[in-house]
Amino acid sequence: MSMTEKYDRAIEKYERAIDFIGAFRRWFRARSFAEMLQLNIAELTTRSSGAEYDRTVEMLQAMIELNKCDVFTLTGGPGWSHSGVGAEAVDHRAAVVALVDDDTKDWLDGVLDRGAGYEMEIRDIFIPEFAEETGLDGEPAPGVETVRVLRDGVYQYLCPLGRQSTAAELWESYPTRPNVAAQVFSAWQVTIYDKTWGESDLFEVLTELARERQEYNMLFSPDLGDLYVD
């Protein structure tokens, strides 16, 4: 290994350590999954206030609303199209990846309109030991390609989102207390995406669905009892 390679590797380890310390200071404060949702909302709100493009703001606002109804968003990307260097066209597909519990998974699965071109991949958190015991190949399931590049009349598909997460990867990104980590590792990982490439109203739809869910939760909160409205 050359000195340059050793230097680059040392810098990479240093940067990863700095990122982990920052993540640890942020997420270890959470004493429950509900508090992780609140921390996520605060971070997304900050990102939204500094976002440059309307489509990015719309995506971040949708992610904020989803977190308010127990959908812990991990990452996402808006749908849009443009021309690229050396490419005839570059298309992005709208998608969001999140962690949810059983009830929230069932709610999303029930309200998402597949007929309108939306889809949702549902996976558990990948545990290599379990995969080996069940005779699987021991590899996490791949994600959904969210970028396609047209060159010489042929599409190349890139940038998969929603690759099945491992517990180790989630811990590195969201280092939190053991009781909270247990909730994270037992969650479902969902990837919601628009099957259509380019401009998309997926995040507008998700915002509306999330706000309807919040309204329902307020009306039928266990703390308030069922409210009956004439």
Alpha-carbon gap, residue 187 to 215, rounded angstroms: 24
pLDDT in tens, 92-106: 999 999 999 999 999
pLDDT in tens, 195-216: 999 999 999 999 999 999 999 8
Considering only CA atoms, which of 190, 169, 173, 161 is closest in space to residue 73? 190
Please tell me the chain's helix, strand, coil percentages from 3-state DSSP, rounded to the nearest 5.
Answer: 45, 25, 30
Strand bridging mode 95-100 / 188-194: antiparallel
pTM: 0.84
pLDDT over 90 at 137, yes or no: no
